Amino acid sequence: MAEPSLPSEEEDREGDQRLLAEALSDVSAALSSTLELDDVLDLILDRAARVVPYVLGTVLLVEGDHANVMRARGYPDSMLGVRLPLTNLVRRVIESGDPVVVQDTREEPGWIVTDDAKGVLSAAVVGIHADGQVIGFISLDSVETGSFTLEQALRLQAFADHAGSAIRNARLYQDSQTERREADRLLRAILPDKIADELQSNGRVRARRHEDVAVLFADIVGFTAYCDTHEPEEVLEALTRITERFEEISEHHGLEKIKTIGDSFMAATGLLSPMLNPDLQCVKAGLDMVAACRELTPMWRVRLGVHSGDLIAGVLGSKKFLFDIWGDTVNVASRVESNGVPDAVAVSRTTWNRIAHACRGQSRGMIEVKGKGEMEMFLVEGLQ
């Protein structure tokens, strides 16, 4: 009976290549399974062991003229976040594109000995490539000399190329998510959340009629004259303080800011979500705005008007969006404000009927209103 023949050297090499190909295929599948950068970095040192056995290892990413330790295995936690200069060794990796094997770190010029890596005597260092440049490094280390061969380093380099593609894809995804979040933040700074949701879902916002909406207008008295006698920067700073305070007050009382036009501030309540008494919330907000204006900018006085009824709301524009409201209710609210008095909240008879139980005030009698004829208006003096 013939003795079984031992595998030839060529067969051994073919077997090794097959195992390496299987390992790299597994590595590639693992790295491609996620687009989260943290997950990719976690996988690198875990999967590197399938290609080259090791005990100590680090993953570093290049940032300017330094490389930051992003992941470490076999080292203390204090190794994470260490910022290392680009030494002659890693510059060789960058310039040549080839891996470097250090058989004895004591003989390597410029080898950096950190507190956590004092016992390292040999290493295999490979570059992580993406888009034709080195974006980081994998360093497998040992406390013994001569622990790594060039063949192992070349295997590690093949693995690092897969890692580079995964890191690039994760960064692109991360950047796209950051851009998406910023775009979403900007959209919601322009439009109410419900309107932004509809626009993102449908690509458009359907105009709707809303009932029982209270509209508030606030206007700075003497603003034009103030602008004529003060520097633009001073005017803008004061107007910004007041506008931001008005926004805070509106949010506190459940008002939706619609827009500002110069020194005019417009808001509404009961518009996008039902409210028990939208008129009263507008009046409360208006009284707070009077107090805020006195406190923030004593030389300015604010005049406010509130009226309620039905209106149309929708979004104008396709490049620079504007959520706005239209209708007779809006026009009357504006007329009530313009016929009001400084440091006071003026309301229409309609609004007064809805808030009289909770407020102190007095009738101003019948006032001629452009386009509407005579209307009875009231001044709110405070809450009961």
The CATH number assigned to the domain holding 115 equals: 3.30.450.40
- 206 and 170, same structural domain? no
Residue 27 belongs to some domain of the structure: yes
pLDDT at residue 27, rounded to an integer? 65
Which helix (H) or strand (E) segment holds residue 336: the answer is helix 328-338
> Which residues lie across from 86 on neighbouring strands?
none
- 323 and 245, same structural domain? yes
Residue 195 belongs to some domain of the structure: no
pLDDT at residue 137, rounded to an integer? 95
Residue 1 belongs to some domain of the structure: no
Rg (CA), the chain: 35
pLDDT at residue 147, rounded to an integer? 96
- 243 and 375, same structural domain? yes
CA gap 334, 339 in Å, rounded: 9
CA gap 348, 340 in Å, rounded: 10
Q: Which of 132, 159, 185 is the last residue of a domain?
A: 185
- 35 and 121, same structural domain? yes
With tokens 């019948």, the residue in question is 366
- 167 and 18, same structural domain? yes
CA gap 160, 126 in Å, rounded: 7
Q: Which of 132, 155, 185 is the last residue of a domain?
A: 185
pLDDT at residue 191, rounded to an integer? 77
- 208 and 82, same structural domain? no
Residue 62 belongs to some domain of the structure: yes
User: Can you state the angle between helices 9-31 and 150-190, rounded to 10 degrees?
Assistant: 10
- 216 and 160, same structural domain? no
**CA distances (Å), origin 381, targets 113, 216, 343:** 76, 17, 10
- 115 and 228, same structural domain? no
Residue 157 belongs to some domain of the structure: yes
Collapsing DSSP states into helix, strand and coil, what is residue 57? Answer: strand
pLDDT at residue 14, rounded to an integer? 59
For residue 222, the domain's CATH number is 3.30.70.1230
CA dihedral 207, 211, 216, 217 (to 10 degrees): 50
The amino acid sitting at 190 is I
CA dihedral 364, 365, 369, 371 (to 10 degrees): 150
| Contact assessment for residue 372 and residue 335, using Cβ atoms and an 8 Å cutoff | yes
- 272 and 180, same structural domain? no
Of the candidates 44, 55, 53, 50, the one whose C-alpha atom is nearest the C-alpha of residue 138 is 44
> Which residues lie across from 307 on neighbouring strands?
215
The amino acid sitting at 371 is G
Residue 327 belongs to some domain of the structure: yes
Residue 190 belongs to some domain of the structure: no
- 171 and 61, same structural domain? yes
- Measured from the Cβ of residue 246, the count of other Cβ atoms closer than 10 Å reads 25
- Edge to edge, what strands does the sheet with 122-130 contain? 83-85, 66-73, 56-63, 133-142, 122-130, 100-102
- 158 and 88, same structural domain? yes
Of the candidates 135, 268, 275, the one whose C-alpha atom is nearest the C-alpha of residue 192 is 268
pLDDT at residue 122, rounded to an integer? 96
Of the candidates 209, 335, 357, 223, the one whose C-alpha atom is nearest the C-alpha of residue 283 is 357
- Containing structural domain, residue 346: 202-383
Tally the domains of the chain.
2
Collapsing DSSP states into helix, strand and coil, what is residue 379? Answer: strand
Q: Which of 159, 185, 211 is the last residue of a domain?
A: 185
Of the candidates 282, 292, 303, the one whose C-alpha atom is nearest the C-alpha of residue 244 is 292
pLDDT at residue 214, rounded to an integer? 96
CA gap 67, 13 in Å, rounded: 36
Collapsing DSSP states into helix, strand and coil, what is residue 83? Answer: strand
- 177 and 213, same structural domain? no
CA gap 323, 266 in Å, rounded: 12
Q: pLDDT tens digits for the chain (384 residues)? A: 555 555 555 654 555 566 566 666 766 776 677 888 898 898 888 888 888 999 999 999 999 999 999 999 999 999 999 999 998 888 889 888 899 999 999 998 878 888 888 899 999 999 999 988 999 999 999 999 999 999 999 989 988 988 898 899 889 888 888 888 888 887 777 778 888 888 888 877 888 899 999 999 999 988 888 888 889 998 899 899 999 999 999 999 999 999 998 889 999 999 888 888 999 999 999 999 999 998 887 778 899 999 999 999 988 877 777 889 999 999 999 999 999 999 999 999 999 999 999 999 999 999 998 888 999 999 999 998
Residue 237 belongs to some domain of the structure: yes
